[in-house]
Amino acid sequence: MNFKSSFLYIAKAVVFGLVMAAIFLTVTAYLNGGNFSSGFNNSTHRNDGLSFSTAVRRAAPAVVNIYSISIDKSRPINSGSLQELGSGVIMSKDGYIITNYHVVQQADEIIVALQDGRRFTSEVVGSDSETDLAVLKIEGDNLPLIPINLNHPALVGDVVLAIGNPYNIGQTITQGIISATGRSGLSSGYLDFLQTDAAINAGNSGGALVDTNGDLIGINTAAFTVNKQDGNNGISGISFAIPIKLAHSIMGKLIKNGRVIRGAIGFTGEAITPVIAQILNLPDLKGVAVTAIEPNGPAAKAQLKPRDVIIKYNNEIIPGTNLLMDRVAETKPGKQATLTILRNGKQQQLHVIVGEKKAAK
């Protein structure tokens, strides 16, 4: 074979290889929705929606392990014992950490362990048993922060990740969906929980519930358990988290005042049911029927009486008990509020000076 023949042979082989490569790229791009690069990157990056590694990388470093130590003062030094363990979330570069109240409520000393190996002794800035939240403070540099988007409400069906330190085995990620929102009646009535089937076990309390972007949407707080005699070892797949918008608001109040100041007017009531509506001869089922008045309280001084029906608070229509209690709690003690009531079928207004709710013990 002479030089010319060899050159033509090599040229044909090169052209054939280029044509086959072009065909391969075209077919690959078609199968991957027009993305030429995806055929070469499957070993290092997946864009198929099945991996949440990016979200975990964004959120997980800011989720800390919390160890609360109880010291027995009647025993010799170094007699401290691990009282409780849980998780927390670093919320600001100043070192503020949010966690659950029940994680730190009886601690004499609180140790915070970061995922990068650093450990800090923390102080309790403030706590609120009503919402089971507490704020801690550590002093450190270059602290990892959790991404937060307060304007992105969690919706039923959203995929979520729970990050925490279950049973002290180390940071763990569990995955599930938002099963329901607005779950009330599980606490004091001052919050509505997010319900999820992502596993939240002992040690997860105070950890992060994040969306698939890694944004914080809730603080893990509790798991619903059933009787182990039922044969399922107490596992129910029902867990709860405090919505981030509420947790963030409570955190701000704890940092400012060390506690949450809530208004109260000294009465109890219940939602209007068909039976109550019939007894009180009410035109509809909206409002709160007053059942009892605290002696010498703000409501009593304003002449609110049992069997009155509160239909508006500061001119806002009140459809039920939860909204009314929230509005009263959010009113600064010492301010005057206007109650629009129905009494004996007639509408009238009462003016009440809001007092302060006593802290739960």
> Quick check: is 70 catalytic?
no
Q: Which amino acid is at 248?
A: H
Yes or no: say if 104 and 136 are a contact pair by the CB < 8 Å rule. yes
Q: How many helices (H) and strands (E) does the chain have?
A: 7, 20
Strands (E), the chain: 63-70, 81-90, 96-99, 109-113, 119-128, 133-137, 159-164, 172-183, 193-196, 208-210, 216-224, 238-243, 263-264, 267-271, 288-293, 309-313, 316-317, 336-343, 346-353, 355-356
CB 318 within 8 A of CB 307: no
What is the rounded distance in angstroms from the CA atom of residue 36 to the CA atom of residue 27? 9
The one catalytic residue among 87, 127, 128, 132? 132
In angstroms, rounded to a whole number, what is the distance separating the alpha carbons of residues 189 and 195?
Answer: 15
DSSP 8-state assignment for residue 51: -
Q: Is 102 a catalytic residue?
A: yes
**Cα 349 to chain centroid, rounded:** 38
CB hemisphere CA count around 200 (13 angstroms): 32
Backbone angles phi, psi at 270, to 5 degrees: -140, 155
* Amino acid letter for position 103: V
CB count within 10 Å of CB 197 equals 17
Maximal CA-CA distance, the chain: 116
Burial pattern 17-51, b for ≥16 Cβ within 10 A else e, equals eeeeeeeeeeeeeeeeeeeeebeeeeeeeeeeeee
User: What is the rounded distance in angstroms from the CA atom of residue 45 to the CA atom of residue 193?
Assistant: 35
Per annotation, catalytic residue among 179, 205, 211, 308 = 205
DSSP string covering 106-141: T-SEEEEE-TTS-EEEEEEEEEETTTTEEEEE---S
Known active-site residue 230: no
Distance CA 210, CA 280 (A): 47
Q: Please tell me which residue in 102, 187, 192, 308 is annotated as part of the active site.
A: 102
Active-site residue set: 102, 132, 205
